[in-house]
Every structure is written in structure tokens, then in C-alpha cells.
Amino acid sequence: MSTSWPKPIRSPGCLAAVAVVAAVATATTMGCGDMDPGAVVKPGCTAATGAMLPWKTGNTWTYQVNDEGVMTVKSTTIGDQELVGGTGPNKDAMAYKVVTHKSQMDQTVSWQAPLGDGVIRYREQSFSASTGELELEEHWDPHKLHVDGSAEHRVTDASWLEIYQETKLPVGGAPESHEAHDRWTVLSACESVTVPAGTFEAIYLQKVSATGGSAKTYWYVPGIGKVKESGGQLEELVTHTLVP
């Protein structure tokens, strides 16, 4: 059965970047040692260099969150490596424990790991904002993509499909498992975006899920990480700390 995907929503900013992909590739093959092979440049735009999501224990990002007018702050910190655990297929794998706090009790704990030029998720737990008790456990097989920073996926109009098995284990509810399909598209390889942390030149991505047809858009700045996210709620980077 074929899947009908919503047409990507495009911003006019930076679409000229695709015209210079060939020039960047040529410069890379000529041995420009400090040029990221995934960099795409346009006039007035800084080259996209560095890891799409810098991954090291202690790295922290703090976001201002607007959920239908309700303003909160959330903070995500990469912890140490440990066994994924749980009951999923990756329980014996090693990954970094990542904790996201919205309040003292409202938190999400996930087990994630770098893979190639990207980051993947193996398992996640969600806790109640009112009681602090575990509400939902999820795991993915073979994994769920967090972000892909490979050279071929930093180019305007690049598009790829991620297929994986998603299992949800709600506390007190019936387990649910289904095959998930996520369509990723690079809407712009270089998009100017302003958030409380400043103005950046970002790689602008969209993820559309076939399950429910939900769509999210992300702005990633290589060397810094996610600076903005929309879809369901709006998240904007306020501050970040990256371990040397």
C-alpha cells in the first residue's frame, strides 16, 4: 500500500542554496581541509559546519516552550553511557541517558546514541507532571531517528524515509505496537532563524509521520544543535552549554 505524504511546507529563505551544492562538493574534493563535506553555502550565509547535534556527556540545551500560549522552560542534558535496559530489542546496547526536565516532576528520560553522522533513540520514559510517576514507556526497533547529519541529508530538497517498529507501554494500559513511517525533508540547507539565544543560519528540516499525519519542523545549527522546533508546541533555544 502506498502512503500519501503531505506536500512539504517551504520557506522562501535560502532556497538559492541548492544552486551552489556542486561548487561546495568541488571545493571539498580539492582538499579544503576545514570544509564540512555537507556544507551548503549561499551569498550572505555562513557554511554549515560541525556535528548536527554535538554529542558529549554534560552538553545541555535550554528552551523556551510555548504550548498554546502557556509558557514554560525545558532543559535537556546528555548523561553518562549505560545499558539501555527495559524490555525492548536494544536492552543490552550501550547508550547515553538523556534527561529532559520541564519541572521538578515533569520529565522525560531516554536512551540515545550517536550513529554515523546522526543520533538515534532506543528507549524513552515519560513521567507525570503532577505526580512524578512513570506514565509511558516506549522502545523502537531497530531505533528511531533523532537527527541525521550526513552530507547527503544537509542539501536542500533531500528527502528520505525512516521505517521502524514502535512499541508503546502505557502504565495501566494495553501495549501497542505498529510499524512507523517518518518522511524527512530538508526544506532549506541554509535558513536564517532568530530565537532568544540569537540569530543563526540553520538547516531547516521537516518530519512527517504517516501515523496520524503529524508534522514537525526543526532548525538545526551544526556545531550547536537544535535551536527551534514547531509542531504541537513551539520550542526556541534560550541558552546552551557544550563540553569542550
Helix (H), strand (E), coil (C) string for the chain: CCCCCCCCCCCCCCHHHHHHHHHHHHHHHCCCCCCCCCCCCCCCCCCCCCCCCCCCCCCEEEEEEEECCEEEEEEEEEEEEEECCCCCCCCCCEEEEEEEECCCCCEEEEEEEEECCEEEEEEEEEECCCCCCEEEEEEEEEEEEEEECCHHHCCCCCEEEEEEEEEEEECCCCCEEEEEEEEEEEEEEEEEEEECCEEEEEEEEEEEECCCCCEEEEEEECCCEEEEEECCCEEEEEEEECCC
Contact at 8 Å (CB) between 183 and 8? Answer: no
Measured distance CA(222)–CA(241) in Å, rounded: 14
Measured distance CA(184)–CA(169) in Å, rounded: 26
Contact at 8 Å (CB) between 119 and 113? Answer: yes
Domains of the chain: residue spans and CATH: 15-241 (2.40.360)
- Supply the pLDDT for residue 49: 83
- Supply the pLDDT for residue 25: 33
Measured distance CA(59)–CA(57) in Å, rounded: 6
- Supply the pLDDT for residue 238: 98
- Supply the pLDDT for residue 214: 85
From first to last of the 244 residues of the chain, give the pLDDT tens digit. Answer: 434 444 454 444 443 333 323 333 333 333 332 333 344 445 556 656 899 999 999 999 999 999 999 999 999 999 999 999 999 999 999 999 999 998 767 899 999 999 999 999 999 999 998 899 999 999 999 999 999 999 999 999 999 999 999 999 999 999 999 999 999 999 999 999 999 999 999 999 999 998 777 899 999 999 999 999 999 899 999 999 999 9
Measured distance CA(128)–CA(106) in Å, rounded: 6
Contact at 8 Å (CB) between 48 and 222? Answer: yes
